[in-house]
Chains A and B, each alone.
Chain A
Amino acid sequence: MRNTIKMISVLTIVGLVSGAALVFMYKYAKPLIIVNQKNEMKQAIFKIFPKAKKYRKETIKDETIFKVNDKDGKFLGYAFLAEGYGYQGTIKMMVGIKKDLETLVGIEILESQETPGLGQEITEEQFKSQFKGLKTSPPIIYVKNKKPTKPNEIEAITGATISSRSVVGILNEKIKTIKDELR
């Protein structure tokens, strides 16, 4: 009986102390994590629009978009988040598009859990830069093992067609919704 009480009290005390420690840690880390996430988006937007000086978050219907301006206040285009399922997990990216909604400015991958060395190449400049200046209609398509010829084509990564296809698919779907919402 005494042993049981001891067992329960030790476990309870350890549980309480660790719970308290975790609350403390959580309170310390939470605001920093939010700042990190915001910074990440900010950096992605500024990377897509090198001339950008500031941007404004706006909610149009159900979509959150960022209106990007340069230092003279000239309107550069829109940026928005696109998210979907890749080969091994969620792919999340920031997309920049010109104000006519017809030309892509670029994309930045924020999150992806694709296979290192293959699918993860979608985060490399070589793949991402293909999207610069791409036309959005007709929808973007990918070609395999040859150089893209049309203004809406990109070349898929060798050995990672599924990841490349996922990026293109997520992109097309989101661009379509954004176009519908903004027009």
Chain B
Amino acid sequence: MIANLVLIFIAAAITHNFVLTYFLGICPFIGVSRKIEQAVGMGLATTFVMTLAATVTWAIYHFILIRFNLPFLQYASFIIVIASLVQIVEMFIKKVSPPLYRALGIYLPLITTNCAILGLTLFMVLREYTFLEGLIFGLGAGAGFTLALVIMAGIREELECCDIPKPLRGAGITLIIAGLLALSFMGFGGLISK
């Protein structure tokens, strides 16, 4: 039981990292990865929303959609739940930490259209996770997202002093670095065999 949960966590965070193997959450990965500080903030906000979203959508899926045989409302209801959660988190951050709110700027509302969160809930349903597994899966995916984002921000801070060919500046070099990161993360592949 515990071993299974640990496996799910590690798989979601490292070996099947959401950003680097499923390409989920690329927009913030490219947009908010210039400064480590911002990356950490964004990562934590996303992790929080992911865990919340995993639990809430699990409940909705099992207690409403399955119970009343409404599979066709799955996508619509999931995205609405996520959108409302993001709104709540946004209001919360605005209240608690205005600097963080200013720093994340337009990217906070964009968590709604962050594919990582909807992707997480879809994968959770597809793999028929239990409630606890879903929760851990959300945490792991969030941790993996934060990890990828922070690594990326670290590299990009160093890149500021590098002479990058002009056309590749911005999105181009970020994508290439992401490719190299994805390659190195593949090295963890043998870590779990489930």
Which residues from chain A sit less than 8 Å from chain B, CB to CB?
Answer: 18-19, 22-23, 25-26, 85, 88-90, 162, 165
Contacts and interface: CB of A to CB of B under 8 A. Distances in A.
The 7 closest A-B CB pairs, nearest first, are: A26-B72, A22-B72, A162-B193, A85-B194, A88-B16, A22-B73, A18-B76
B72 A89 contact: no
B127 interface: yes
Interface of B: 16, 21, 71-73, 76, 126-127, 189-190, 193-194
19 contacts: A18-B76, A19-B73, A22-B72, A22-B73, A22-B76, A23-B72, A25-B72, A26-B71, A26-B72, A85-B194, A88-B16, A88-B21, A89-B126, A89-B127, A90-B127, A162-B189, A162-B190, A162-B193, A165-B193
Contacts of A22: 72-73, 76
A88 B192 CA distance: 11
Nearest to A18: B76
Q: Is the interface of B mostly helix, strand, loop or mixed?
A: helix
A162 B11 CA distance: 14
Given A22-B72, A89-B127, A90-B127, 10 more contacts: A18-B76, A19-B73, A22-B73, A23-B72, A25-B72, A26-B71, A26-B72, A88-B21, A162-B189, A162-B190
A18 B71 CA distance: 14
B65 to A, nearest CB: 12
Nearest to A90: B127
A115 B73 CA distance: 30
A85 B73 CA distance: 27
B188 to A, nearest CB: 12
